Amino acid sequence: TGFQNKNRVAILAELDKEKKRLQNQSMNSPGASIPLSRPALNKDFRDHAEQQHVAAQQKAALQHAHAHSSGFFITQDSSFGNLILPVLPRLDPE
């Protein structure tokens, strides 16, 4: 285990040196402050695309249910993954 610990320390030291070298190199390069990727933007775009896909699926399921059933349905987020939920009409008490 002593050899493994020394090996890990050496690897971490090597990685730290490489990290510092890359940071110094990026500071000396023109345009270094421009990020190459925007992970937050990509995540927001994926989330928005997924929401649009779910909305399209809900609309299609709702249209299918209304065309093939005499019941009434609404779109609703469900804990169980249902895209639409059946709605029972309220009857006025007499």
- Residues of the chain with pLDDT > 90: what percent? 0
SS3 33: coil
Inter-residue contact 87 to 74 (CB < 8 Å)? yes
Tokens of 58: 């809900």
Q: How far apart are CA 56 and CA 28, in angstroms?
A: 49
Inter-residue contact 85 to 78 (CB < 8 Å)? yes
9, pLDDT greater than 60 = yes
Lowest mean pLDDT among 23-27, 29-33, 70-74: 29-33
Angle at 83 between CA 77 and CA 85, to 5 degrees: 85
Q: How far apart are CA 29 and CA 64, in angstroms?
A: 58
